Homo-oligomer: A and B are copies of this chain.
C-alpha cells in the first residue's frame, strides 16, 4: 500500500502541513475505530479535527488515502517488535509476551484498528501478509523449530504457539469492554497489565515445557 497525498503534494516544506496532517490523522483514527472504514466519513473527521472539510481534501485525496497513511504507521510499529534469537526460549518468549501485553496497554487504538481490518476481511493487508509478514513468520517458525529439535521445549507447532500469544495478548485491547466488565473495573491499571504479562508468561512457558 502506498501513502497517497494530495495531488498538489509539495516537495517538502511544511510546518502548518505537519500540524494539520497530525490533527486529521488523530481525528480519523477515532472515526475509523468507532465506525469502521466504510462507516467513517470525511465530514465527521473534519468536524473532529476542527477544520473545514475542503481543507481535509487539500491534504488527502480521499478516505482511502487517510486510512492508508494510518495503517502504514501501525504496520511499521508492529514489525518492530521482533523476536531476537541467540537467547534462551524462556527469555525470548517472556520478553515477547511482555512487549505484546504492553503494546495492548499503550497502543490499544492501533491494535483495534488492526483487528478491525482482519475482521472485515483484511482487504487492504493482502500485500503485507504475503511479503513482510510471511518473511517474519518463516524466520520465527525456524527459530522455534530449532528449540524443539534441541529439546528446549515440547513439540508444539510454532504457528499455534504464536497465534496463542497474539490472541491472548491482543484480547486486552480488542475486547476491552468485555474485559473491564468481567473485572468490574472502569479501566485496567498498570499493575493489572503487569499481572497479565506475568500470568500469561507463566501459563505459556510452563505449557510449552520451557524451563526458566
Contact residues of A with B, CB < 8 Å?
A: 33-40, 112, 115-116, 118-122, 125-126, 129-130, 133-134, 137, 154, 156-157, 159-164, 166-172, 174-179, 181-184, 195-196, 199-200, 202-209
- Give A184's nearest chain B residue, CB to CB: B134
CB distance from A168 to the nearest CB of B (A): 4
Complex Cα spacing A130 to B134, Å: 41
B contact residues around A182 at 8 Å (CB): 133-134, 137, 159, 162-163
B38:A181 contact, CB within 8 angstroms: no
B118:A174 contact, CB within 8 angstroms: yes
Identical chains bound together, number: 2
- Give A171's nearest chain B residue, CB to CB: B167
Q: Which listed residue, B38, B121, B205, touches A38 by the CB 8 Å rule?
A: B38
Complex Cα spacing A40 to B36, Å: 10
Give 5 pairs: A residue, B residue, CB < 8 Å, sorted on A.
Answer: A115-B119, A116-B119, A119-B174, A203-B204, A205-B207
Complex Cα spacing A177 to B125, Å: 9
B contact residues around A175 at 8 Å (CB): 115, 118-119, 163, 166-167
B169:A33 contact, CB within 8 angstroms: no
- Give A175's nearest chain B residue, CB to CB: B118
A174:B115 contact, CB within 8 angstroms: yes
